[in-house]
Amino acid sequence: MVVKKRLLVCSAAIALTGVTAVPAAAAPWTRGFVVSAYEYAFRYGGRTDYSRGAEIEPGVDCPHGSTVFMANPNQTKIAIARQKWRSQQEIDWITAPPGVEKVNTPGLTRRHIWARAMSFRGYKKGIETYVNPWATDDPGEPQVTSSIGDGFNLDGKIKAGDFISPDGEKGIDNNLYRAWGCDAPWRGGGNATLDMRANDKMQEGLFTMVIRVSGNKDPMNDDEATLEIGWSPDNMVKNARGGITVDYSYRLPKTALYTKMKAKVVNGVVESEQVEHLHTPRIAWFYDQTGDTNFSKGKVRLNIAPDGQSATGLIGGYRNWRDLYAENTFAQDGGQQGTREHEDAVALYYALRRNADGMLNPKTGRYDGISSAYRLRMSSAFVVDPDKPMDITKQPEEEFHKAAFQGIKEAVIRGTDTLVPQAVPPGTTEGSYPALEHEMDGLVSREYFLKTLERPHYAGEDARGMPPWLKKKPAPATPQKEPLKQQVRAEESKVAREQ
């Protein structure tokens, strides 16, 4: 509708100048969109008549079930019993901490004890699990068995085991779906936990992504169109019902999260060329995670509604699977992801490594990338160039946490490449530290767990074991609990606000 009006205005202007009018279909055109939903292109094979029971309904694509790791004491006991260096008392007490029901927050205390234990499951004591997932055994991740999947034929081949798209295209490469499609928090028919969390935070202003398509022929059929995609500094505008309002203006600066591509439009379907590097914002629900997707061999497909007011689409390409692992695992920390989201990042790590199928590393002879596809829903918008060059907006108060996130990602990649155990980089809450120390106040078995359970250690710790980035003033001569509580609560407040 908006596009038609623009074309009519353009044609009228040409007629008034005395120049022979050309058909509106041959006039320059532009269509812009703001992305309102952004998620992995996982399909959900569940039954519409299913009444949720004690477990997540498997569905036809996940006949072996969905993840329920760390959801109850029995599963926790199985995980920690695999370490031969643990005593039977340690296994029993971690599973059912003595006296836990008498503390102020028994559920939270129990969860932090489990998270601490889960964070040290290496082949010997002292190896942090989530920074070094290769250093422990694979607990097994249920994987997608369906032959139907969304995405692109990224390698131009039709191979045994490739997916078939819902409209019948063969050779679809989306091994991220195969690896993670049965992971509980990413699974659902529009209501997956982490999908909803990420989209909610994006719409609240964590980041904005926009797309602009332009050409000089017919907006429904143009073989020389241009597609631009990238980060915008402007927050999304919502209507009274909480949806994204159409036809607001958003700037599209040429930052590190911007890509310009050649495209073709056929009957309203926009298909971009395949480019060596496709830079866009990545899925995130904390500022720490925000950054570049950097799809290798990436491309975009959009299906624009006839009225031009909305569109759906896919972005696809090969992503570094270590990046994907870190972005999911260290959004909070590995233990919280396990106890809160019911997934085991170690299982996800092995599933990614097992299904890697792109970006061959000539030095190692292994694939660094995994074929992926992301699903988009969009509302029409006026996407414009900024008045002057712009860079990506930073949040100074959060840059320390972002640097810590980058540091732990680099440690994962180093360890994976060298098989040398890496220490936990400073600035994170990995190993549930120091949250567990705070949550065990009043627990009769507190001293046992402090003595028995491993935790990360850092240079510059004070007499209380507090890492330097949590120190706001010199430590008192006599250790006191209350300042520790206050500092830990301040550090944890960001996570609490996001839940």
Q: Do 174 and 316 meet the contact criterion of CB atoms below 8 Å apart?
A: yes
- Name which of 242, 260, 244 is nearest 252 in CA terms: 260
Inter-helix orientation angle 88-95/106-118, to 10°: 140
For 140, other C-beta atoms within 10 Å of its C-beta total 14
Write down the residue that tokens 């569109």 correspond to.
311
Query: Digits of tens for pLDDT over the chain (499 positions)?
Result: 344 433 333 333 333 334 444 445 578 999 999 999 999 999 877 665 555 554 555 677 888 778 888 878 998 999 999 999 999 999 999 999 999 999 999 999 999 999 999 999 999 999 999 999 999 999 999 999 989 999 999 999 999 999 999 999 999 999 999 999 999 899 877 788 999 999 999 999 999 999 999 999 999 999 999 999 999 999 999 988 888 999 999 999 999 999 999 999 999 999 999 999 999 999 999 999 999 999 999 999 999 998 889 999 999 999 999 999 999 999 888 998 888 888 999 999 999 999 999 999 999 899 999 999 999 999 999 999 999 999 999 999 899 989 999 999 999 999 999 999 999 998 888 998 888 988 898 999 999 999 999 999 888 887 777 777 776 544 444 444 444 444 444 444 444 444 4
Hey, which residues does 318 pair with through a beta bridge?
296, 371
CA distance 285 to 267: 35
What are the phi and psi torsion angles at 253 (to 5°)?
Answer: -75, 160
Q: Do 26 and 219 meet the contact criterion of CB atoms below 8 Å apart?
A: no
DSSP E strands in 452-496: the ranges are: none
SS3 sequence, 227-258? Answer: EEEEEECCCCCECCCCCECCCCEEECCCCCCE
Q: Do 295 and 281 meet the contact criterion of CB atoms below 8 Å apart?
A: no
- Name which of 285, 325, 332, 337 is nearest 111 in CA terms: 337
Indicate the length of the chain as a whole number: 499
Hey, which residues does 381 pair with through a beta bridge?
32
Dihedral angle at the C-alpha atoms of 102, 105, 106, 109, nearest 10 degrees? -120
CA distance 421 to 408: 13
Predicted TM-score (pTM) of the model is 0.87
Write down the residue that tokens 């489990």 correspond to.
114
Dihedral angle at the C-alpha atoms of 413, 322, 318, 353, nearest 10 degrees? 110
